[in-house]
Amino acid sequence: MSPARADELKDEEAAVYDRQLRVWGVEVQRKLTAARVLLVGFGKLAAEATKNITLAGVGHVTLLDDTPAAQLAGHNFLVTPAAAGEHTAAQAAAATLQAMNPLVKVSAAAGPAAAAAASADALAGQDLVIATGAMPLGQLQQLNAAARRAGASFMAGGASGPGGWFFVDLRQHSYVPKGSAGADSDKVTLQYSALAEVLAPPAAPLPATTHAMYYVLLVCAALEQQLQRPLTAADLPAAQQQLQQLAAASPQLAAAQQQLAAHLAGAAEFAPVAAVLGGIIANNVVAAVSGSGAPLNNMLFYSLLDGRAIVETQPAGDGAGQPGKAAGGAAAGSQQQQQQQAHEVVID
């Protein structure tokens, strides 16, 4: 990669982006400027993620959520009480974000987040769709499929009480690992799974290390599918029953039962948790858009209670055609190894 030449950017960009150009260089910055990202659903997690990607210089950011801004005012730092007025959350937040970085374009799309999957207008031309509101899993899966049809990658996540989760679908994604020479032979190519595949009932018993939250998501997806409607707190007994069947042998059962109850009760987003996940989302957006550096593959579960963020590849594959399989380059073998094992990081 040629050394960064700040004079190839506009003067204002070079001045404002100076500190981050020294991190990732002009080429990555150019790709960020050219990127178009749609955020579906707006809350604390979306606020954090959009703040980070707007500051990073993603050229076109669109927000989609017609919840009245007044409902968020005062406990979402992008929606000031003074500005809430008659606006939607998307409009109020977009205004704050636009002021935060006049070098990019931040706008609000019309309509409810729930209709995003059906909104060809909103999806057209987007490189990446990110859903962070409390959407039912069935809707998220539809949105993922619609994004793929529109030629976009997809990310989804949620912050709930002390924890949260994050999922990435970059379809077929090639990247150059940092520190490599950058030749074509160094490139790594990953095949990602869509959320529907990730949340489909597992064909085989899950490994003992599988995170409790993954069980929760599987159970909720299956029950939603059965009942053909979003779940409520009243569905807890039925959900617990399914969990018992799915996770009886798992050491994570007790943790999963607790998290399932919290998930169905709808715990609110906690700001510092949203901030951690929002930072991780932004780093993945930069990796996804620029093709530089390894993106998440493909799920992350975080809890402030034990300070851990667990990375897993789901479904865990074991052979050809399985998701997460790397292709190309000497890095392939070790890459695959890494993908199959959950690895653990601690963010206290």
CB 276 to other proteins: min, Å: 5
Which candidate, 109, 162, 152, places its Cα nearest to that of 128?
152
Task: Identify which of residues 28 and 198 has a Cβ nearer to other proteins in the complex.
Answer: 28
Task: Identify which of residues 102 and 125 has a Cβ nearer to other proteins in the complex.
Answer: 102
46, 63 contact by CB (below 8 A):
yes
Q: Which two tokens stand for residue 28?
A: 């990555």
CB 55 to other proteins: min, Å: 4
Burial class (CB in 10 A: 0-12, 13-18, 19+), 55: middle
Task: Identify which of residues 64 and 275 has a Cβ nearer to other proteins in the complex.
Answer: 275
330 secondary structure, DSSP code: T
322, 281 contact by CB (below 8 A):
no
How many angstroms separate the CA atoms of 36 and 150, rounded?
13
CB 124 to other proteins: min, Å: 28
Q: By three-state DSSP, how is residue 306 classified? A: coil
Task: Identify which of residues 149 and 343 has a Cβ nearer to other proteins in the complex.
Answer: 343
Task: Identify which of residues 1 and 268 has a Cβ nearer to other proteins in the complex.
Answer: 268
CB atoms within 10 A of CB 348: 6
CB atoms within 10 A of CB 334: 10
CB atoms within 10 A of CB 49: 28
CB 271 to other proteins: min, Å: 4
CB 139 to other proteins: min, Å: 23
Give CA torsion, residues 169, 174, 178, 179, to 10 deg. 150
Task: Identify which of residues 146 and 165 has a Cβ nearer to other proteins in the complex.
Answer: 165
CB 235 to other proteins: min, Å: 20
